[in-house]
Amino acid sequence: MPATVILGAQWGDEGKGKLVDRLAEDATWVARFQGGNNAGHTVVLGERILKFHLLPSGITREECNLVLGDGMVVDPWVLDKELSDWVEGGGTDPAGHRLFISGRAHIILPYHRYLDGLDKKIGTTGRGIGPTYSDKINRVGLRFDGLPHADTTAMAERQNAALEAAGCEQRVTSAELDEQIAWIVNRFGNAIGDTGIMLDNALKMGENVILEGAQGCLLDIDQGTFPYVTSSVTSRGNSTHGAGIHPGHVETVIGITKAYITRVGHGHMPTELFDDDGDHLGTVGHEFGTTTGRKRRCGWFDAVVMRHANRINGFTEIALTKLDVLGGLEEIKVCVGYRMGDREITEMPSSAIDLESCEPVYITMPGFPGLSIEEWLGIARKCNSEGIGFSGLPSAAQSYISKLETLLGVPVSSVGVGPDRDATIDRV
């Protein structure tokens, strides 16, 4: 059975966790392939709200194996806290049983967090992600498979020199590093392995594998709005590479997008709203970052952004989330192009500076009524149980979905209308 890739198609926070949780019911493996605990995936199970930063969203399915893949950077202390919270909530610790960490994944150390905390330009999460990837590219990072061979004296000298050069007051010692490494080995030694071989064998056996992305296409280090991006490749090309398998395994690529758009951190977002409509999206959509708690910037759906994301990733289908948040608006706008100076463009400029000069070109569509969370959930359950798909939605909402499909040239396979696991309508 081919692997399925699930990717964020905007600036992250699109609702990947909820979709992965649903699809993981029929999966035997869910693997994260990049990023670290700068990710934030939320899964709602009735009254229980689960927030994950490192753990793959498939953890809620007890029969599903989990992988932290080759392309990730992992903070062991954050992972330990997430696992402790999972166990306290009634789960079983999966480390070494169904949770496996790639020996090729790099380790986030306190030193990396110290450096990241100095950022004032990009608006990072401060979790040490960028400095860890920097050490990886500079070939001085510590991987899980390198724990038995770490030269902590040399590590401490190098890290302290970098901290001093950056104007950071914190320092590290080789004794502290020895203690930290010993703890990591003791806590996660039984979970470290060659996860690429595990996934390759699973696919050869016909098992269902999901490759779960973090962040979104517009935060990709190469294809995003540089320099206001994350430090890893978030796109399809890295899904298999970061998991340790070849790209021929992939057949389905699901791009996840909200019915509007949001962004956290710095950098221009052409359709950003500063009016009552923006307040509506932020308030009704509860737009606060899972990882940082920062208020998300909200704007109208941007088809230019989505065309760029589709060109990079080749989506075979779109999962549209948070359609319910648009309920209650009299009119809904969709950006179909940008006005840059005296010309109109339909593709994103590569320069973030050029993007700052872009103004959105909109089409306007009629809105549809606002409903309660319970009412939207009832609609979703009725649509799925009766097999009527999107036809159970308000007519204006159906027209909105059809317009997005026409603009993007990709079919919408599911529509989210609320936070609950069951508040998703599948196409028929």
Q: What residues are labeled active site?
A: 13, 41
Would you call 88 exposed, middle or buried from its count of C-beta atoms within 10 A (0-12, 13-18, 19+)? Answer: exposed
Can you point out the beta strands (E) in 198-268? 209-212, 250-258, 261-263
Q: What is the pLDDT of residue 290?
A: 65
* Residue 143 DSSP code: B
Q: For residue 345, which of 353, 333, 357, 334 has the smallest C-alpha distance?
A: 357
| Banded pLDDT at 379 (limits 50, 70, 90) | very high
| Banded pLDDT at 65 (limits 50, 70, 90) | very high
Q: Which of 42-46, 99-103, 148-152, 280-284 has the lowest mean pLDDT?
A: 42-46
| Banded pLDDT at 151 (limits 50, 70, 90) | very high
**For residues 346 and 307, is the Cβ–Cβ distance under 8 A?**
yes
- CA-to-CA distance for 82 and 266, rounded, in angstroms? 28
Task: Choose which CATH entry (1.10.10.10, 3.40.50.300, 2.60.40.10, 1.10.300.10) describes domain 104-190.
Answer: 1.10.300.10
pLDDT for residue 247 is more than 90 = yes
| Banded pLDDT at 125 (limits 50, 70, 90) | confident
Q: What is the pLDDT of residue 421?
A: 86
Q: What is the pLDDT of residue 174?
A: 98
Q: In 292-334, which ranges are continuous DSSP H helix?
A: 303-313
pLDDT in tens, 5-38: 999 999 999 989 889 989 999 999 999 999 999 8
| Banded pLDDT at 292 (limits 50, 70, 90) | low
Q: For residue 142, which of 185, 78, 83, 100 has the smallest C-alpha distance?
A: 185
Going from N- to C-terminal start, the domains of the chain cover 104-190
On average, the pLDDT of the chain sits at 94
In sequence order, which residues have a C-beta less than 8 Å from that of residue 236 and are 6 or more positions away? 5, 7, 250, 253, 312, 313, 314
Would you call 325 exposed, middle or buried from its count of C-beta atoms within 10 A (0-12, 13-18, 19+)? Answer: buried
| Banded pLDDT at 39 (limits 50, 70, 90) | confident
Q: What is the pLDDT of residue 3?
A: 97
Q: What average pLDDT does range 45-59 have in this prediction?
A: 83
- CA-to-CA distance for 321 and 259, rounded, in angstroms? 6
- CA-to-CA distance for 426 and 379, rounded, in angstroms? 12
pLDDT in tens, 68-85: 999 999 999 999 999 999
Predicted structure pTM score:
0.94
% of the chain at pLDDT higher than 90: 86
Long-range contacts of 422-426 (CB under 8 A, 24+ apart): 422/377, 422/380, 422/381, 422/384, 423/324, 423/373, 423/376, 423/377, 423/380, 424/18, 424/19, 424/22, 424/380, 425/379, 425/380, 425/383, 425/384, 425/389, 425/390, 425/392, 425/393, 426/384, 426/389
> Cα–Cα distances in Å, from 353 out to 120, 261, 336, 419?
18, 20, 20, 36
Q: Tell me if the bond preceding 56 is cis, omega within 30° of 0.
A: no
For residue 345, the surrounding DSSP H or E stretch is strand 343-345
* Residue 281 DSSP code: H
